[in-house]
Amino acid sequence: MKTYVMEWGTHRLKLGPQTLVMGILNVTPDSFSDGGKYFQAEEAVARAVEMVAAGADIIDIGGESTRPFSEAISPEEEIQRVVPVIEALAPRITVPISIDTTKAAVAERAIRAGASIINDIGALRMEPDLADVAAQHNVPLILMHMQGTPRNMQVNPHYDNLLGEIRSFLEHAVETAEKHGISRSRLIIDPGIGFGKTKDHNLQIISHLDFLEKLDLPVLIGSSRKVFIRNILTTGNETELSPSHPLVETGTQATLAVAIMKGAHIVRVHDVANTCATARLADALKQATNGNEKT
């Protein structure tokens, strides 16, 4: 696997030999897994500090739910949710804080508050001005594939060529970012597990994740507690497992291990401690596999 090094401000991330773990912090009342749990700033900051202590390399803070069929909120409301948390958290941790937003105004305020990565699930389609914010502040930008919007993405998602269409979408998003003055060395791509995909789509993406190698960019994967895992693990007439059910976390770790073996550089997760253990083992297996191929 190719190694990428990102250096900006006071931060340096080495992506390749060791998989990086991004801890999810949803400052929302309605996210699918932990909505409302960390809605208060003090609780959110304590959770982020806990994740860093458990081994998180990045903390990803989002103030707007992007679960299927969710409604958008205003930039002002999103800013009110995330900025106080970032301002309180930034002096307490040394790892970079990522702002999970599609809005330029939110990203601008978040960066001024102490965030240093932009995670855009819209891949610049919702607000192209977001690219200008990333370029002006010279911060990394994550570009994710999504078919449609959170409100309609799970209404009969269809592809004629799943992997080819995702790769083309991300190629175009990268070109757009570069046209706005963002260096390719600041870009990360995400195939968007669960965003406009069926269970089979998600399984194909993870099991063939190396289809993104041609883009020559770091890859982030976000399968944590997604509904396709719950669907697979729910059998017979059982009620669908909740996102926080222990079996769902076990299933998450299985998807992450495969994704790492197939080339993921960053994994975005709710359970940092378990994921760090999975990543260490998967990285060791991957290195052993690569070493065997060279002999």
Q: What's the token pair of residue 155?
A: 């209404």
Neighbours of 232 (CB within 10 A): 16
Phi, psi of 76 (to 5 degrees): -65, -45
Distance of CA 186 to the CA centre of its chain: 15
Catalytic (active-site) positions: 226, 268
> In 3D, which of 135, 131, 136, 95 has the Cα closest to residue 115?
95
Phi, psi of 148 (to 5 degrees): 85, -145
Neighbours of 12 (CB within 10 A): 10
Burial label for 171, CB within 10 Å (0-12, 13-18, 19+), is: middle
Phi, psi of 107 (to 5 degrees): -60, -45
CA–CA separation, 212 vs 210, rounded Å?
5
Residues 98, 61 contacting (CB under 8 angstroms): yes
CA–CA separation, 204 vs 197, rounded Å?
10
